[in-house]
């Protein structure tokens, strides 16, 4: 089986990178991580890649006067490694429109909310402030607008009495670690088709409950 060559872009902790590395270790996983790029030399997540023997590259955004120059350096690194798919995993740099268009439908991101709710930062505190009963994460194809683009997978978690932003973040993060490998698997298997603003997935159908109530009633 030819595995799709993936690059993961990080800026920090890299727990989603670790989840993707673990998934790719399965012999039947249809993708392999061929490169991890960080825009900061101190990104802790780089250690996950090094431990797994995955090539890493640091491209410090501060070294580039213009965003387009940083994007071009990033693109060169991806091309040189023969990358087919890009996963943004806690990558805290906005990418320019030209770069995003160049990787259209070949670049995905994970965002810690059920999009289109709570785009941007501090999603867990904002979800608590809004009083939502269900929160979660979204894997989506990247478009020029921030936290926008066709949705591949979402995972929902309940908001529970006594939650604070940290407790809720930890529950969402555990869901992220399931959702991201699943989305990558389906895309790498060629089951995912972008149709306008939506994604169609040819996947074995599973039975989901018609409604998830929280509180359970």
Nearest residue to ligand GRF, using CB? Answer: 90
Strands ordered across the beta sheet of 31-38? 56-58, 31-38, 4-10, 85-88, 107-111, 134-141, 151-158
Stretch that binds ligand GRF, among 1-9, 77-85, 105-113, 205-213 (CB under 6 A): 105-113
Q: What is the dihedral of CA 73, 76, 80, 82, to 10 degrees?
A: 120
Binding ligand GRF by CB under 6 A: which of 112, 149, 150, 158?
A: 112
Binding ligand GRF by CB under 6 A: which of 45, 149, 150, 158?
A: 45
Judged by beta carbon, residue 44 or residue 194, the one nearer ligand GRF is: 44
Position 12 contacts ligand GRF (CB under 6 A): yes
Position 147 contacts ligand GRF (CB under 6 A): no
Q: How far is the CB of 131 from ligand GRF (least distance, A)?
A: 21
Q: What is the dihedral of CA 163, 168, 169, 175, to 10 degrees?
A: 160
Contacts of ligand GRF in 151-210 (CB under 6 A)? 173, 176
Q: How far is the CB of 32 from ligand GRF (least distance, A)?
A: 19
Binding ligand GRF by CB under 6 A: which of 4, 40, 48, 111?
A: 111
Active site residues: 111
CA 200 to CA 181: how far, in whole Å?
17
In the complex, the residues that contact ligand GRF under the rule CB under 6 A are 10, 12-16, 45, 89-90, 110-112, 137, 173, 176
């Amino acid at each position: 089986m030819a595995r799709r060559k993936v690059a993961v872009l990080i800026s920090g902790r890299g727990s989603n990178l670790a989840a993707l590395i673990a998934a790719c270790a399965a012999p039947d996983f249809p993708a392999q991580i061929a490169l991890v790029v960080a825009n900061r030399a101190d990104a802790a997540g780089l250690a996950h890649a090094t431990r797994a023997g995955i090539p890493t590259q640091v491209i410090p955004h501060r070294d580039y006067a213009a965003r387009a120059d940083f994007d071009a350096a990033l693109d060169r690194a991806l091309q040189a490694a023969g990358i087919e798919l890009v996963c943004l995993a806690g990558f805290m740099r906005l990418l320019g429109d030209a770069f995003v268009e160049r990787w259209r439908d070949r670049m995905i991101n994970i965002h810690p909310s059920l999009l289109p709710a709570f785009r941007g930062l501090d999603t867990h505190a904002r979800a608590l402030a809004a009083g939502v009963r269900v929160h979660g994460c979204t894997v989506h194809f990247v478009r020029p607008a921030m936290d926008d683009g066709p949705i591949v997978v979402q995972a929902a978690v309940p908001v529970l009495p006594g939650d604070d932003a940290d407790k809720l973040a930890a529950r969402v993060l555990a869901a992220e670690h399931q959702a991201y490998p699943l989305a990558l698997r389906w895309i790498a298997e060629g089951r995912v088709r972008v149709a306008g603003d939506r994604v169609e997935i040819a996947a074995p159908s599973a039975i989901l409950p018609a409604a998830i109530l929280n509180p359970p009633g």
